[in-house]
Chain A
Amino acid sequence: MTDNPTRSFIVLDRLRKEFGGVVAVNDLSLNFAKGQISALIGPNGAGKTTVFNLITGFLPPTSGSITLNGVNLSGKKPHRIASMGVGRTFQNVQVFPAMTVLENVMVGRHLRSRCGMAVSCLLPQALRPEEKRIREASMVWLEAVGLKDQADRTAGSLPLGSQRMLEIARAMALEPSVLFLDEPASGLNARETAGMGDLIVKIKAMGITIILVEHDMELVMDISDNVAVVNFGSLIAEGTPKDIQANPDVINAYLGA
């Protein structure tokens, strides 16, 4: 693998998703480059979340294909796709509310640890060496998102901003090569949004590819290397943040012409 940023890492080829009569994703062909922050933007209902759900295996495509590093993802279950190094967060935050903040991140180590049901039943936690490693790796990520001192709180009691951070820590514990973020700044105040931007840039610096869906245009234009704009499930523009801001089609789509 070279570090050529133009290299196509994730390739969507004529990807299509229909819900009954609604065409949510309309023969969309799109590449995401490795190691970059690529933003996917568009008005409400444009099909952005649906694209995420198709790539991460939560929805089967009606037609078309998705490849990651040349490997076809279509037809694979979400947990299989996670095991191929794909992490994600959710537009409606989905922490495990009854578990502690630390335990939430520890779930993220599921694929990086081994013990099956039999061993888990037979041996107490203290006698399973992997538990210490799981805990330590999880603490590293809690620290990275600034939630270390909240480790023992139940996740459901955290404010929304912290829950979004926790989701990212949990996904990062998976050690993914690609991270899909669905509106990570939604519901955050200005200070939290700035912190979120810094975190995303920090994750990119670790060599992780990021695909970002976000309505906060300031954040998108600030941190993205590349921006793709969809409307009614079709690509209407693609380019650098600068190009996109000047594109009349984009301005039209957002003003609802």
Chain B
Amino acid sequence: MNMKDYIGIGVLALIVAVMPFAVGNDYYLGVLVFTALNCLTCIGLCLLLGYAGQISLGHSAFVAIGAYASALLTTKLGWNPWAAMGAGIVISLVTAVLVGIPTLKLKGHYLAMATLGFASIVHVVLVAAVDITGGPSGVSGIPRLELFGLALDTDTRIFYFCWALVLVALYFAVNLIHSRVGRGLQAIHGSEDAASSLGVNITVDKIRIFALSAVFASVSGSLYSHYVLYIDPGPFDVMHSVLLITMVAVGGIHSIWGAVTGAVLLSLLPEGLSFLSEGLAQFNIQYKTDYDTLIYGAILLSIMLFLPEGLFDGIRRSFSFFSKTNTETERGQ
């Protein structure tokens, strides 16, 4: 069966467990928290894009809904952060269903455009509804999360908590993929006609996976609020949706591990680039962060040209021995 996936989750858990000891520095631990949040969103997005075959450029909006639900309900109404996170989940779910009903009838470019439109509407509302969202100046004074009386107030604790959620999300995703529902989703990707001829309710199933991925994004947004304690609309623009899709695509849309690979790499890339710029500065070459976009584009382009199945698949195939045993166990039984 799919033992390899569970072993993968176990290995990742071990890496997560030792990471804070290996990374002494709170700054880098913080970068890894943001990495976890991107992983969480990308796992949901990969189920939607890679397995069910439905694109969404609207997921920045669900991250925003989670983040703002947490920020506003705690600061303005004094809600408990967990309750606020729960409310964010419910709002994202309902929004996903309402947005999904008309848009998921669309295909390909049209679905991309419709979800993109949704994301930009949400962003505009965040900026313009100054009375509620605080507009461009955002919301501050967001409380931290508390877990069994333990405040998640150090980077190490938040790191563990966020990565624990990533592991749970991976566990859910792996289970789902190898299930009746998961196969139904992959069937929708392969042929909607054939899937429905076998009794798969394609309309409902597309909406359900869209909603599930929206929930992952929403939780990621809530965690973001309770970690940075101040939010403004900036990070939740449409470009964030594009970045999320890029992460999934770079890693490889056909595997949940690809989504994780892509999310980790692209989340760490800015750090890598700033190293690079320091290095270049020694040779009197100026590197501006504006070039980052250029590098992202170049990476995406080369992956699409040379590794269309994504980085994860590329790495896997380059270890041909590993790849051989992998497909055998994966397909065996």
A and B pair up: yes
Q: Which of B6, B175, B189, B199 contacts A96 (CB 8 A)?
A: B189
Q: Which of A83, A94, A111, A117 contacts B176 (CB 8 A)?
A: A117
Number of A-B contacts (CB under 8 A): 117
B35 touches A (CB below 8 Å):
no
Q: Which of A77, A87, A96, A121 contacts B187 (CB 8 A)?
A: A96
Q: State A215–B198 Cα separation when bound (angstroms).
A: 25
Which of the 9-residue segments A31-39, A98-106, A188-196 touches chain B?
A98-106
Contacts of B208 in A (CB 8 A): 117
A107 touches B (CB below 8 Å):
yes
Contacts of A174 in B (CB 8 A): 198-199
Near A by CB (< 8 A), chain B positions 54-109 give none
Interface contact B193-A58, CB-CB below 8 Å? yes
Interface contact A82-B178, CB-CB below 8 Å? no
Contacts of B183 in A (CB 8 A): 99, 103, 106-107, 110
A16 touches B (CB below 8 Å):
no
Q: Which of B178, B184, B196, B254 contacts A125 (CB 8 A)?
A: B178
A185 touches B (CB below 8 Å):
no
Near B by CB (< 8 A), chain A positions 93-138 give 94-100, 103, 106-111, 113-117, 120-126, 128, 130-131, 134
Q: State A224–B83 Cα separation when bound (angstroms).
A: 65
Interface contact A120-B182, CB-CB below 8 Å? yes
Q: State A95–B198 Cα separation when bound (angstroms).
A: 12
Contacts of A111 in B (CB 8 A): 198-199
Contacts of A113 in B (CB 8 A): 180
Closest to A156 in B: B190
| Majority secondary structure of chain B interface residues (helix, strand, loop or mixed) | helix
Q: State A124–B172 Cα separation when bound (angstroms).
A: 8
Interface contact A99-B198, CB-CB below 8 Å? no
Q: How many A residues touch B, CB cutoff 8 Å? A: 46
Please name the 6 residue pairs, one residue from A and one from B, whose CB atoms are nearest each other, closest first.
A96-B190, A120-B179, A111-B199, A152-B331, A94-B194, A78-B196
Closest to A180 in B: B197
Q: State A122–B179 Cα separation when bound (angstroms).
A: 11
B260 touches A (CB below 8 Å):
no
CB distance from A106 to the nearest CB of B (A): 6
Contacts of A200 in B (CB 8 A): none
A171 touches B (CB below 8 Å):
yes
Q: State A112–B92 Cα separation when bound (angstroms).
A: 32
B201 touches A (CB below 8 Å):
yes
In the complex, per-residue mask of A2-35: 1 if CB is within 8 Å of any chain B CB, else 0: 0000000000000000000000000000000000
| Given A107-B198, A110-B200: 7 more A-B contacts, CB < 8 Å | A94-B193, A107-B184, A110-B183, A113-B180, A116-B181, A152-B332, A167-B194
Interface contact B179-A78, CB-CB below 8 Å? no
CB distance from B254 to the nearest CB of A (A): 7
Contacts of A121 in B (CB 8 A): 172-173, 175-176
Known contacts A88-B197, A111-B199, A120-B175; A97 and B182 CB within 8 A of each other: no
CB distance from B2 to the nearest CB of A (A): 6
Closest to A117 in B: B181
Interface contact B197-A87, CB-CB below 8 Å? yes
Closest to B187 in A: A107
Q: State A103–B201 Cα separation when bound (angstroms).
A: 18
Contacts of B196 in A (CB 8 A): 58, 77-79, 82
A56 touches B (CB below 8 Å):
yes
Contacts of B186 in A (CB 8 A): 96, 98-99, 103, 107
Closest to B330 in A: A152
Contacts of B174 in A (CB 8 A): 124
Q: State A120–B112 Cα separation when bound (angstroms).
A: 28
Q: State A3–B220 Cα separation when bound (angstroms).
A: 60
Contacts of A109 in B (CB 8 A): 180
A232 touches B (CB below 8 Å):
no
Q: Which of A79, A99, A130 contacts B190 (CB 8 A)?
A: A99
Near A by CB (< 8 A), chain B positions 4-38 give 6
B202 touches A (CB below 8 Å):
yes
B294 touches A (CB below 8 Å):
no
Interface contact B187-A125, CB-CB below 8 Å? no
B121 touches A (CB below 8 Å):
no
Interface contact A115-B179, CB-CB below 8 Å? yes
Q: Which of A90, A103, A126, A152 contacts B194 (CB 8 A)?
A: A90
In the complex, per-residue mask of B234-267: 1 if CB is within 8 Å of any chain A CB, else 0: 0000000000000000000010000000000000
Q: State A27–B227 Cα separation when bound (angstroms).
A: 67
Q: State A174–B172 Cα separation when bound (angstroms).
A: 27
B40 touches A (CB below 8 Å):
no
Interface contact B176-A79, CB-CB below 8 Å? no
In the complex, per-residue mask of B138-163: 1 if CB is within 8 Å of any chain A CB, else 0: 00000000000000000000000000
B285 touches A (CB below 8 Å):
no
Q: State A125–B330 Cα separation when bound (angstroms).
A: 13
CB distance from A170 to the nearest CB of B (A): 7
Contacts of B184 in A (CB 8 A): 107, 110
Q: State A58–B181 Cα separation when bound (angstroms).
A: 22
B164 touches A (CB below 8 Å):
no
Contacts of A94 in B (CB 8 A): 190-191, 193-194
Interface contact B193-A130, CB-CB below 8 Å? no
Interface contact A78-B197, CB-CB below 8 Å? yes
CB distance from B132 to the nearest CB of A (A): 33
Contacts of A170 in B (CB 8 A): 194, 198
Known contacts A58-B193, A116-B181; A171 and B187 CB within 8 A of each other: no
Q: State A134–B178 Cα separation when bound (angstroms).
A: 12
